[in-house]
Structure 1
Amino acid sequence: MAGAEDELPGLHEAGSARPVRPEPAHHDGHRDRLRERFSQAGPQAVADYELLELVLFRTIPRRDVKPIAKALIARFGSLAEVLNAPTRLLCEVPGVKEAVALDIAIVAAVNQRAMLSAVKEREVLSSWAAVLAYCKAAMAYETREQFRILFLDKKNALIADEVQGTGTVDHTPVYPREVVRRALELSATAIILVHNHPSGDPTPSRADIEMTRTIAETARPLGISVHDHIIVGRSGHASLKGLKLF
């Protein structure tokens, strides 16, 4: 009777009873080496596609994920673009299924939540770099315009972060009275306006400038200051306060 250790046909060397072991896959050991490099030298020691590989290892356990990681970077242009890409577009890349797209979305959400936590309960104006980083992570890669408001207390600490409206690729309706009404509901004494330009160019339009001035003029008599209006895009950001446009 054949034993449990009998070899499969075709796995013997010619003229020998010894089985021929399959050659190890090209990616055997690669995962351990990449994890070790990341562990020993930190994230700066790995390329963007390798960092993406480390994420994919958990979702795709038995496949060489380097080609998939490189294809994602090539398709979307950068690691940031990959993390913020819509699920349906991620799934167009060969080898990417819904589970992979979900894991990528989770990583993006963790990054965004971590940036928000760096802003919460702190004096916002002294953490301006953190505010800009959060706004870019939250909005720069959206395919439609969003209008967001950061509501601050008298110590300029963040009370609430709310998306007030989502529009089209180049327009979001904004109602100054509703902005001020919400600030009063939250007992906010200052606000920061934020919206994105899906085109990638953060240059403020004439409508952006006029809307900002209207909100500031409506809020001022009620003791509410507009600290800034930030426009974010893939290519950077613009501060209307910094540009002295209101």
Structure 2
Amino acid sequence: MSSSEAIEVLLTWLLKRKGGRVCYANSHTMVTAAKNPALVEALEKSDFLFPDGSGVLWGSALCGKPLVHNLNGTDLVPVLCKNGAPKGLSLYLLGAKPGVAEEAAANLAKAYPGLVITGTQHGYFSPAETPQVLDKIRAARPHLLLIAMGVPLQEIWINQYANELPGITCMGVGGLFDFIAKRVPRAPRPIRAIGMEWVWRLAMEPSRMWQRYLIGNFVFLRLLLIYAFVSSNQDEQTI
């Protein structure tokens, strides 16, 4: 679906308090899933699984099942907040380093008057503290819980705890809070438009991103070629 269609469907879903799980699939997610069955399970159980990034779009075309729209959360969530603010959309921000979620929440509230921030919680809590964190989220009762723990932790966390948060939709958003809090600058729009935002991120955070992009992209390409080869053979056997 297009970005506008995705926003409309998501907003209707959220305001009806259907609850559930929203995940994004980019090349890093796919490479990680290839060796992580728990992530595969989490992705398969999501209510919405959106394509994120030019790698997935290009890869889907190579595999003969082309996707058209890039629905990454970094672009989708702000528009969702903009459209949802007049309707009383409420958010809870969970994840990132201490202080980042609070800064992101303040910037969202300032940018979108009417948007309700029901709470924030950094991601550096122990497993023993999880029940208390869940209690706080249930008490806050947001429409949407944004979870910024990175792949695969956020997806596995959603798969494990979404059922304990009735009426609340959980969405894994990776590094979104860092962008909204302006801790990490996003690529200029022309770079994003040609699908090269990964190069910008690599330049901004080389020590953290080099393995994901310089090695991960080649692993992703290898996985795509294997899938395309297997699919081609299966098609020939069917014929």
TM-score (norm 1): 0.24
Please identify which structure carries the higher helix content.
Answer: 2
Answer with 1 or 2: which has the greater Rg: 1
TM-score with structure 2 length normalisation?
0.24
